Structure 1
Amino acid sequence: MTSTDQQPFLSVKDLKVHFSTEDGIVKAVDGLSFDLARGKTLGIVGESGSGKSVTNLTILGLHNPDSTEVEGSITLDGQELNGASESTLEKLRGNKMAMIFQDALASLSPYHTIGRQIGETYRKHTGASKQEARVRAIEMLRRVGIPQPDRRVDDYPHQFSGGMRQRAMIAMALVCDPELLIADEPTTALDVTVQAQIMDLLKDLQQEFGTSIIFITHDLGVIADIADDVLVMYGGRCVERGPKEEVLRTPQHPYTWGLLGSMPTLDGPVDVPLTPIPGSPPSLLNPPSGCRFHPRCAFANKVDGNRCATESPVLEIVDGRGNACHLTDEQRREFLADLAASKAN
């Protein structure tokens, strides 16, 4: 294996994204690092306002440079994106990296046909003719499971159902065979049957194209279905990271415990109450000192010296696994055992 093969396809190092507002500086992302290998899926999970979408819009360069300060490094296939010119980013967007947005109806133009919108993306990056672009649009609609694509290519977004619009968005994102696909909660507004279809479609297309995927969601159930690795965000920072099976089976951070404890399950007792996380996410205008989760954490008072409120925990990654928490391994095992026993009772 060459050194090039060993390099991650996407590497984000110490990313900071701060917005200037009338009320002050919003620290939307504050020191985030992660890698993504070719053909793999990274699930980024967290509550609204944790910095998930801002991170990925910044990767694409879709931020206002006049009001946004971006620090750190973002390299895609060895190319640095932070500080790259807009013309460079335009060539990469749609061609080498693409995004599926959450609200397809708001993202698609109501004034142009589905086929024209998919075709224009293809023409911009390949120089294809209108007829070639139309043929490509029909091909992509067929690939994402739109029935009668040669007829539906001339329909407008309002003539598609919600699930079909999302499929059209996926077709548009994949029309130039990008190597990185960012999916920003693409199934949130869909019913569970259509959601499952979209998830299966993404996995099939990833297998076909070898695409690397970042999947943003607040739903750990979705993460369990699609991701290889999981990054848990809170207050603009990563609090836990690791392979999907390890994070979901043996979570190490109290915030991850809270996310899992607030999820309903199909195979557990029906009379076990869900345990919501108390309080609200922190203000990123004036985030808490120390660990940003400590005002909501039931275990903060268990750590000696009030460290949770005064000292920001360091995220140490060993063999792809780590968490940012002051609890000792022994304390963590004890608390997890107590939680398991309380649920069993």
Structure 2
Amino acid sequence: MTSTDQQPFLSVRDLKVHFSTEDGVVKAVDGLTFDLAKGKTLGIVGESGSGKSVTNLTILGLHDRERTAIDGEILLDGKELLTASERELERLRGNKMSMIFQDALASLSPYHTIGRQIGETYRKHTGASKKEARARAIEMLRRVGIPQPDVRVDDYPHQFSGGMRQRAMIAMALVCDPELLIADEPTTALDVTVQAQIMDLLKDLQQEFGTAIIFITHDLGVIADIADDVLVMYGGRCVERGTKKEVLRAPQHPYTWGLLGSMPSLDGPVDVPLSPIPGSPPSLLNPPSGCRFHPRCAFAEKVTDGRCSSEQPLLQVTDGRGAACHLTADQRRDFFADHTATRSH
């Protein structure tokens, strides 16, 4: 999703991540490809179990190597991550790439002060002294909007509100000025006011540092606020991708239509009922044949030759835009128009 004359900072090619379990092999990610440039934000959206978090934990090398079969290619600034040693990955994590987790309270140690936790990350990667690390922690707390950072640096996580803990997590993730930041649903547990503040903070920090951001969420409203490009995942695969404007205004896949139909509109009639997607996400132990979305797709019967249930649709991408669907371009345009008209009445 970058221009052809620009080398992507992060390049993922045909990534497959399969876990061995007592019940069989879980195909958590099954052939994923995308690029991300510096200073840009890629929003990865999909229901729980679609493979979003597994993808990004794999980029960071945070997987059980003994029970996980990984194939494909992940290049970070030209360096292959899948063949990197654990020592190499430790040097990269927190330094060149970093992650903000969804639950800050669970991710922060209750036994150490906020300042110590931020400072230890800085000391590990820079060799700074304790005094220098404390000063850096105060500076980062100030940057993320924590009031009285020289005082709050000595507080413990339980003394921070939910929004402030998330800001502290962001400070920790950015303390070494990483070039890639992965945000795994960092605003899900926050109220809408704090959520907006966190989103603005990420955008401001990205502008300041030129950071490449992967933002994982199930909320297309959040995607509309922060992303440049969007990748829609379902059942471990990418079913649609394009710019934010392309995906949200002219979606090409019935699953994306379903996601849009299940969220309220701020500029439409207030009495329009939501249209949740029927059924449940597929089991990745035994996924459906063909298109993995076809058991829940209201349009599968429109493909009269039965390919939806027997043949996996290819994700054909042109200029960063594509969708994996057997419907023709004309059918998709007409069916989405009908879907949109139904939602507006």
In 2, the alpha carbon distance for the partners of 1:99 and 1:271 equals 39
Structure 2 residue aligned with 1:343? 343
Per-residue Cα deviation, 1:93-146 (whole angstroms, up to 9, x for no partner): 000000000000000000000000000000000000000000000000000000
Q: SS of the counterpart of 1:110?
A: coil
Classify 1:4/1:316 alpha carbon distance in 2 versus 1 (closer, same or farther; 3 Å): closer
Q: What amino acid is the match of 1:97?
A: M
Structure 1 residue aligned with 2:167? 167
Per-residue Cα deviation, 1:46-105 (whole angstroms, up to 9, x for no partner): 000000000000000000001111100000000000121000000000000000000000
Note if contact 2:269-2:344 (Cα within 8 Å) is conserved in structure 1: no
In structure 1, the gaps of 5 or more residues are none
1:191 matched to 2:179: no
Classify 1:111/1:161 alpha carbon distance in 2 versus 1 (closer, same or farther; 3 Å): same
Structure 1 residue aligned with 2:248? 248
In 2, the alpha carbon distance for the partners of 1:172 and 1:154 equals 15
Structure 2 residue aligned with 1:94? 94
1:7 matched to 2:10: no
Q: What amino acid is the match of 1:194?
A: V
Structure 1 residue aligned with 2:216? 216
Classify 1:284/1:8 alpha carbon distance in 2 versus 1 (closer, same or farther; 3 Å): same
Following superposition, the deviation at residue 339 of structure 1 comes to 1.6
Structure 2 residue aligned with 1:72? 72
Q: SS of the counterpart of 1:6?
A: coil
Per-residue Cα deviation, 1:157-216 (whole angstroms, up to 9, x for no partner): 000000000000000000000000000000000000000000000000000000000000
Structure 2 residue aligned with 1:258? 258
Aligned ranges 1:223-234 → 2 under 5 Å = 223-234=223-234
Following superposition, the deviation at residue 340 of structure 1 comes to 2.6
In 1, the alpha carbon distance for the partners of 2:298 and 2:5 equals 43
In 2, the alpha carbon distance for the partners of 1:41 and 1:301 equals 36
Following superposition, the deviation at residue 312 of structure 1 comes to 0.1
In 2, the alpha carbon distance for the partners of 1:114 and 1:20 equals 37
Structure 1 residue aligned with 2:322? 322
Per-residue Cα deviation, 1:226-276 (whole angstroms, up to 9, x for no partner): 000000000000000000001000000000000000001121111110000
In 2, the alpha carbon distance for the partners of 1:149 and 1:4 equals 44
> Over aligned residue pairs, what C-alpha RMSD do you find?
1.1
Q: After the TM superposition, which of the residue ranges 160-169 and 329-338 deviates more from structure 2? A: 329-338
**Aligned residues: percent identity?**
85
Q: TM-score, normalised by structure 2?
A: 0.98
1:110 matched to 2:122: no
Q: After the TM superposition, which of the residue ranges 29-38 and 261-270 deviates more from structure 2? A: 261-270
Q: SS of the counterpart of 1:286?
A: coil
Q: What amino acid is the match of 1:275?
A: S
Structure 2 residue aligned with 1:60? 60
In 2, the alpha carbon distance for the partners of 1:209 and 1:262 equals 35
Q: SS of the counterpart of 1:267?
A: coil
1:136 matched to 2:136: yes
Aligned ranges 1:229-308 → 2 under 5 Å = 229-308=229-308
In 2, the alpha carbon distance for the partners of 1:189 and 1:53 equals 17
Following superposition, the deviation at residue 4 of structure 1 comes to 11
Q: What amino acid is the match of 2:318?
A: V
Following superposition, the deviation at residue 305 of structure 1 comes to 1.0
In 2, the alpha carbon distance for the partners of 1:335 and 1:113 equals 55
Q: What amino acid is the match of 1:159?
A: Q
Following superposition, the deviation at residue 304 of structure 1 comes to 2.3
In 1, the alpha carbon distance for the partners of 2:148 and 2:5 equals 41
Note if contact 2:261-2:343 (Cα within 8 Å) is conserved in structure 1: no
Q: SS of the counterpart of 1:305?
A: coil
Note if contact 2:313-2:326 (Cα within 8 Å) is conserved in structure 1: yes
Structure 2 residue aligned with 1:205? 205
Q: TM-score, normalised by structure 1?
A: 0.98
Classify 1:109/1:344 alpha carbon distance in 2 versus 1 (closer, same or farther; 3 Å): closer
In structure 2, the gaps of 5 or more residues are none
Structure 2 residue aligned with 1:309? 309
In 2, the alpha carbon distance for the partners of 1:58 and 1:337 equals 38
In 1, the alpha carbon distance for the partners of 2:119 and 2:94 equals 12
Following superposition, the deviation at residue 5 of structure 1 comes to 6.9
1:156 matched to 2:128: no
In 2, the alpha carbon distance for the partners of 1:271 and 1:326 equals 33
Note if contact 2:268-2:344 (Cα within 8 Å) is conserved in structure 1: no
Classify 1:32/1:4 alpha carbon distance in 2 versus 1 (closer, same or farther; 3 Å): closer
Q: SS of the counterpart of 2:313?
A: coil
Following superposition, the deviation at residue 6 of structure 1 comes to 1.8
In 2, the alpha carbon distance for the partners of 1:302 and 1:23 equals 35
